[in-house]
Amino acid sequence: MEQPQQRLTRQTKENLSSTSSSSRILDASARARRTQKFLESLEQDNFHDDPTEPSSSFDPTLTQEQIAKSLSNISAFGYSRHSKGLILESDEPTTTTTTSNSSNKRRKIQFKYDVFKTRFRKNLQTLLDEELGSNGEKSNDEKNYFTIVAKPSKYPSIKLCSVCGFLSQYTCQICGNLYCSLKCLDIHKDTRCLKFTV
C-alpha cells in the first residue's frame, strides 16, 4: 500500500518542478539535434588534446625543423576536425611560416607536387558537397554515396535504459532519454538530464 502513495507524491513533486521550469522541456527538434550531436561524437577519433601540442609543452631544445613538422601536423589535424568546411584563421599563418622555414628535409616530408598542397586542405564535408554538386539533381536516381544509405527499419527499436543498460519502458519527460526505474531516473536527473544540452 505504501508504494503507490510514494509514487504519487513523487509524481506531484515532478509536476510541480516541471511547471516551474516548463520552458526547459526539449521539443522534438531539439531532441533530434541532440541525438545527432551524440552520433557525431561517436565519430570522434580522440576525446582529449594532443599531448605533444607545442602550446602546452613547448620545448626549447626542439630544432626548428621539428617544430615546423609538429606545427604542420597540428594545423592539418585541427582543420580536419572542424567539419564545417571553414578555413581556420590560425591555419594560414602557420602554413606560411612552415613553408618559409622549409629546408631540404622538410620538403621530403611534404609532397613534391605543390598542386597537392592546396588539394590536401579539403575535409570530408567539402568533398561530399563537391560530389553532390557534380552529380547535380540527377543524384536522386543514380547510385552514389548518398543514395546507397540503408533505409529506416520497419521494426520498432529496442529500448534500453540510458543509465543501467537493461530494457526500459519509460521516457524522461524533459530530455527524452530512456530509463527503466525510478532509481535510474534519479541517477539520470542527477547526471545526464540537460547536463549537456544542445
Partner 1 sequence: MTTKPIFVVDNGAYMSKSKMNTTDKSKIIPNCIMKSKFYPRRTFIADQIDNECPNKTSLYYQLPFQKGYLVDWNIQKQVWDYLFGKIPFKTTGLLMTEPCMNLNFIRETMDQIFFEEYEVASFARYDPATLSAYQYEQDMKSNYVLVIDSGFSFTHIVPFYQGRKLFDGMTRIDVGGKLLTNQLKSVISYRQLVVMNETYIINELKENICYVSLDFQEDMKKARLPLSENSNSLDYILPDYNEIKQGYVQSSSTSTFNGNIADSSKKNLTKQQQQIVRMNVERFTIPEILFRPSIIGIDQAGIAESIYNSVEQLPEHIRPSLYNNILLTGGNCLFPNFKERLENELRSMIKDDYPIRITLPENPITYALNAGVTLTNSSDYINYCVTKREYDEHGVSICHRKFTDNP
Using CB under 8 A as the criterion, which residues of the chain lie in contact with partner 1 when the complex forms? 35, 38-39, 41-52, 57, 59, 72-73, 76-77, 80, 109, 111-113, 116, 119-120, 122-124, 127-128, 130-131, 134, 143-145, 148-155, 157-158, 160, 163-167, 191-192
Whole-number minimum distance, CB 15 to partner 1, in Å?
28
22 vs 155, beta carbon nearer partner 1: 155
Does residue 178 sit in helix, strand or coil? strand
| DSSP helix/strand/coil, 29 | helix
| Least distance between partner 1 and beta carbon 9 (Å) | 28
Q: How far is the CB of 173 from partner 1 (least distance, A)?
A: 18
Cell of 183: 532509481
Nearest CB to partner 1, comparing residues 90 and 120: 120
To partner 1, the closest distance from the beta carbon of 157 in angstroms equals 4
- Closer of 12 and 166 to partner 1 (Cβ): 166
H or E stretch covering 179: strand 178-179
CB 129 within 8 A of CB 85: yes
Cα separation, 65 vs 6, in Å, equals 69
Residue placing its CB nearer to partner 1 in the complex, 84 or 151? 151
> Which residues have a Cβ under 8 Å from the Cβ of 25 and sit 6 or more positions away?
18, 173, 174
Least distance from C-beta 81 to partner 1, angstroms?
9
- What is 26-53 written as a DSSP string? --HHHHHHHHHHHHHHTT-S-SS--TT-
- How far is Cα 198 from Cα 188, in angstroms, rounded to an integer? 17
Q: For residues 25 and 70, which CB has a smaller minimum distance to partner 1 in the complex?
A: 70
